[in-house]
Amino acid sequence: MNARKYIQKNKYSSGRKNYGAFSFVEIMVAIVLISIGLIPLFSLFVSTTSDVSNTIDEVLATTYANELIDSIIAHKFVDIPSSVAYSEVQTLAGSPFFDKIIANLTPCSSEFRRYVEISETATTVQIPANVSPLIAERYNRIKSFKIVKIKIKYDLNGRARELNMATIVTGA
């Protein structure tokens, strides 16, 4: 027994076996399980990024359409052309009405194109009997109205998309 006293012990060891460490297999299993758990998380990030990009393009298209409609209806009813065939806005350059509008529009991104169509429609408004002259005048002003249709075409991740908007302009 005395001989055991003279055996030098490792000063970093407590003299008993250390079972607190992880084996290589345990570490690899943990890494695989964590990886499997992270795959849906990364997939969520990718789809969210794609959805945000789509939303940005849709908001841009809506903004371009609203800007064109606002530019047209800012003019007096009689100044708005009665008939404009469906065409791209840039091709209408040279028209006195559209020259002013095109000059003030925000330039579109390259994948966006604005289209416009304007038509005038008459209506048969029956003026009720015994109506004041003021109201009768209002009825007479809305006997015709103009329909302004706007279409924004754009490319979204390789797919052709379009946004349609329309409004009615009256002389009232």
**Phi-psi category of residue 106: left, alpha or beta, with phi > 0 → left and psi -120 to 50 → alpha:** beta
In a domain, 48, yes or no: yes
Q: Residue 10 — φ and ψ, nearest 5°?
A: -70, 125
Per residue in 75-130, pLDDT tens?
998 899 999 999 999 999 989 999 999 999 999 888 999 999 999 988 777 777 88
In a domain, 16, yes or no: no
Per residue in 31-90, pLDDT tens?
999 988 888 888 888 888 878 888 899 999 999 999 999 999 999 988 999 999 999 999
In a domain, 63, yes or no: yes
Identity (one letter) of the amino acid at 59?
V
Q: How many domains does the chain have?
A: 1
Residues 6+ apart with CB under 8 A from 90: 102, 114
- The number of angstroms, rounded, from the C-alpha of 168 to the middle of its chain's C-alpha atoms is 24
Say yes or no to pLDDT of 156 above 60: yes
DSSP 8-state class, residue 23 = P
Cβ(96)–Cβ(64) below 8 Å = no
In a domain, 3, yes or no: no
Identity (one letter) of the amino acid at 46?
V
* CA separation for the pair 28, 169 (Å, rounded): 70
In a domain, 13, yes or no: no
* CA separation for the pair 113, 115 (Å, rounded): 7
In a domain, 15, yes or no: no
Sign of CA dihedral 49, 54, 57, 62: negative
* CA separation for the pair 132, 96 (Å, rounded): 39
In a domain, 123, yes or no: yes
Domain that holds residue 41: 22-170
Strand segments (E) across 4-158: 84-88, 112-122, 144-156
